């Protein structure tokens, strides 16, 4: 089947997309393309949270897009075609009958095909793109990195996931990576990628209705901020067990809670300005959008 060509308009756009592995399950590709963006300029993939609001997440990056000539691409998994965390956060890996679905059908595998469609449309020639996700999107992003090839991603950051898949084969997915046919070399590959965990130091609510409270999540800590530290510590211990380097970074973001807009601005500044903005700088962006 020929690759669908995606050609986003200048400014905001919303393009219909149907992945070849998922006929009848449409996606919307929300984009922002500055007039100054050329095919060799950066591309940033942005993954939305639990509200499936890719249009909002696209908009959170417009200021950075204009400043740094970024093509922003928010692949949006609508509730109707991609219901519940199992379809999005957890990638559709485990079917309703508890069997593991084919790897090419995992939701995480869709993003490289979206990039291929953008290349087919002539809007980018980039071999590598950047990837950011917040909240449910942060779950999506770190699980993608745990299970997929990394070669297309030049930088990856996950912000404020509600809970984490641990780098261990001793626990079943999604708590760990057991049951997916992975081996220690796959863990080492994940640990070797310089993935950034962005953690708002005010993401400390224990009553947020969207905070996962399954036993596996609660075992990682009472808040998202605590769970980020648990995850990072577990990764370093697993790397020591395997005798490999852990190249991940845990970066606290001062003064910010569960906020997709502010965390996106922090990621943009980290990547394109080499800094994390202060709490005072990020305060005007604070919207508490999941």
**3-state class of 143 per DSSP?**
helix
Q: Residue ranges per domain, the chain?
A: 11-280
Q: What is the CATH number of domain 11-280?
A: 3.40.50.1820
- Find, among 122, 116, 111, the residue nearest to 75 by Cα: 111
Non-local CB neighbours of 251 within 8 Å, separated by 6+ positions: 196, 197, 198, 199, 270, 276
Q: Print pLDDT tens along the chain (290 aa).
A: 567 899 999 999 999 999 999 999 999 999 999 999 999 999 999 999 999 999 999 999 999 999 999 999 999 999 999 999 999 999 999 998 999 999 999 999 999 999 999 999 999 999 999 999 999 999 999 999 999 999 999 999 999 999 999 999 999 999 999 999 999 999 999 999 999 999 999 999 999 999 999 999 999 999 999 999 999 999 999 999 999 999 999 999 999 999 999 999 999 999 999 999 999 999 887 776 67
Question: How confident is the model at residue 285, as a pLDDT?
Answer: 75
Question: The tokens of 130 are what?
Answer: 């950047």
Question: How confident is the model at residue 2, as a pLDDT?
Answer: 62
Find the distance separating the first CA and the last CA of the chain, reported in whole Å. Answer: 36
Distance CA 221, CA 265 (A): 26
Question: How confident is the model at residue 286, as a pLDDT?
Answer: 72
Question: How confident is the model at residue 161, as a pLDDT?
Answer: 98
Question: How confident is the model at residue 221, as a pLDDT?
Answer: 98
State the residue for tokens 């979206």: 114
Question: The tokens of 91 are what?
Answer: 């990638």
With beta carbons less than 8 A apart as the criterion, state whether 25 and 73 touch. Answer: no
User: Angle between the 184-192 and 224-242 helix axes, to the nearest 10 degrees?
Assistant: 120
- Find, among 284, 288, 223, the residue nearest to 260 by Cα: 288
Task: Tell me the whole-structure pTM to 2 decimals.
Answer: 0.97
């Amino acid at each position: 089947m020929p690759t669908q060509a995606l050609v986003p308009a200048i400014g905001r756009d919303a393009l219909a997309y149907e992945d070849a592995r998922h006929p009848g399950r449409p996606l919307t590709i929300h984009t922002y393309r500055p007039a100054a963006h050329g095919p060799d300029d950066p591309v940033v993939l942005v993954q939305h949270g639990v509200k499936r609001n890719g249009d909002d997440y696209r908009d959170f990056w417009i200021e950075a897009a204009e400043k740094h000539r970024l093509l922003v691409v928010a692949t949006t998994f609508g509730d109707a075609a991609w219901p519940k965390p199992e379809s999005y956060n957890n990638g559709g890996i485990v079917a309703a009958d508890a069997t593991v679905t084919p790897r090419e059908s995992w939701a995480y595998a869709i993003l490289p095909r979206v990039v291929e469609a953008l290349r087919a449309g002539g809007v980018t020639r980039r071999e590598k793109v950047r990837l950011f996700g917040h909240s449910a999107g942060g779950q999506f992003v770190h699980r993608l990195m745990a299970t997929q090839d990394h070669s297309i991603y030049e930088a990856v950051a996950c912000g404020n996931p509600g809970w984490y898949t641990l780098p261990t084969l001793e626990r079943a997915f999604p708590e760990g990576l057991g049951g997916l046919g992975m081996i220690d070399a796959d863990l080492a590959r994940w640990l070797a990628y310089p993935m950034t965990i962005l953690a708002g130091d005010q993401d400390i609510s224990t009553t947020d209705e969207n905070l996962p409270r399954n036993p596996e999540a609660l075992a990682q800590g009472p808040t998202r901020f605590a769970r980020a530290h648990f995850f990072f510590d577990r990764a370093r211990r697993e790397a020591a067990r395997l005798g490999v380097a852990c190249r991940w970074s845990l970066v606290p973001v001062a003064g910010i809670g569960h906020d997709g807009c502010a965390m996106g601005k922090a990621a943009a500044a980290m990547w394109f300005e080499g800094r994390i903005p202060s709490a005072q700088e990020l305060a005007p962006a604070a919207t508490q959008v999941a």
